[in-house]
A and B are shown apart, each in its own frame.
Chain A
Amino acid sequence: MVVLRLGLSEIMGAVLILVISVVFGVALLTLFINYMHYSLQALYNGPLSPHCQFSVIGYAINKTTSGYVVALGLYNYGNAPCIIEGALVVNATTGNVITVVTYSNPIKFNGFTIIKLNVGSIKPPFIVRLYSRDGYVGGGLVG
């Protein structure tokens, strides 16, 4: 008479399956959580991150003895301070860069501010492009 003893094998089998399943499940869950974490991190570092966004809302031009001085009204509607380090003055017709203006003391602002730009003998109309430290570029047509 052959006695079939399955008890130990069943338990071992079940435990084995359980261990494999748990390890596999935990590994899968870890991968998924990591994926979500990095995806959310990218989102928070990208479009949802605090960053500077500004626009030129208006301007005033004056001719002085040393040339034209443009006053630009800027509004930062982003959620981080804007730090303007320089500007390009671009020909409104050809798109060629006429001159580069750099600020030795970068202009840092939240909300509304008025900045001055001395463009020398460059007559309006021209395009001003302002560059912020975090890469945002804003500006508009003057004249």
Chain B
Amino acid sequence: MSGRLGLGEVYVFAVFIIAAVVFLVTMVYMLNLVKGFLANSLVKVSAASEPVNVMPQSPPALVGSNILVNITIAGNPQPYSLGELPNNALCVIRLINGTEFYAKGLVTYNPVAGYLGASLTCPLGYALTQFSGQVADLSIYLPTPLGSSIRLSLNYRPTVRLLVYPQSTYTGGNVTVSLLVLNNSTGWVYVNASGGSGYTVVPPGSLSIITRGYGPFNQPGTYNITLTYTVNNILSTSASASVTVIQPSTQPQYTLPEPCMLGNMAFGYVSNGTIGSLIDYSLGVYYNVLVYPALLAV
């Protein structure tokens, strides 16, 4: 009996080997498919839960019938690299009476190292023009390829107070006018006051103070100081305060009022940059107010 393998055994081995190869290749293909699907799903779930920081890059601008907003989106860039970024957005303008205007906005994205830039055009300029004094906020909703959305809001109704120190001065004296902007909302505020350059940004839930110097006042009398400011580059309004200028004499008939003492303040707060410690004791009457920006106001 011969010990050599016959032709039949070779065929059997060949069939088995081919079957094994087909089996392995199919299994590897199948496993890779499932693995890719699961990995993609996990990345999406993980990316969707990542926090995203979104803020305006500059004040919004009204150009014709459009509102232009440049936005910075920071955080994990993964959500935005998984698919094509949607180029539409929802823009909503809300008036103080609750009426809301909405429109489809156009977005163009510009990936930058460290963050994602977005330029938005909202065709809601007519609402700002017609109801400029009644606009409460502008909300922008940006969809992501994952189905989640990014919201950015601009607040048009911050609380603004004009503070003057001192309210009374002798001829030749100067005063300091401070515009205190309190943004007690979830939206962003850009304020630009007259007599200066550039915008002051007030993040949600915080306050900012803009100071201007006035004087010297060479003639006695009462002076009305008006500071004009814009909110979010669109609404323009003004705040006024008066200064009394007194002529000094060797035997003065008038004396300057005593500065407010602690515990007898018309208005006061100690700020650490948040609004938590801000307490308004007055209804718009400020007497001998002194503002130390970001430190102490008495």
Contacts and interface: CB of A to CB of B under 8 A. Distances in A.
Nearest to B30: A36
Contacts of B92: 58-60
B104 interface: yes
Contacts of A54: 147
B104 A39 contact: no
Contact of A32 (B23, B90, B98, B145): B23
Contact of A75 (B6, B8, B101, B149): B149
B138 to A, nearest CB: 12
Contacts of B16: 21, 25
B1 to A, nearest CB: 7
A36 B26 contact: yes
Contact of A40 (B33, B83, B139, B147): B33
30 contacts: A10-B6, A15-B8, A17-B12, A18-B12, A21-B11, A22-B11, A22-B12, A22-B15, A25-B15, A32-B22, A33-B22, A33-B26, A40-B30, A40-B33, A48-B37, A54-B147, A55-B149, A57-B141, A57-B149, A58-B92, A58-B151, A61-B98, A62-B99, A71-B100, A71-B102, A77-B83, A77-B143, A77-B145, A111-B88, A112-B143
Interface of A: 6, 10, 14-15, 17-18, 21-22, 25-26, 28-29, 32-33, 36, 39-40, 43, 47-48, 53-55, 57-63, 71, 73, 75, 77, 111-112, 114
Interface of B: 1, 6-9, 11-12, 15-16, 19, 22-23, 26, 30, 33-34, 37, 83, 86, 88-90, 92, 94, 98-102, 104, 139, 141-149, 151
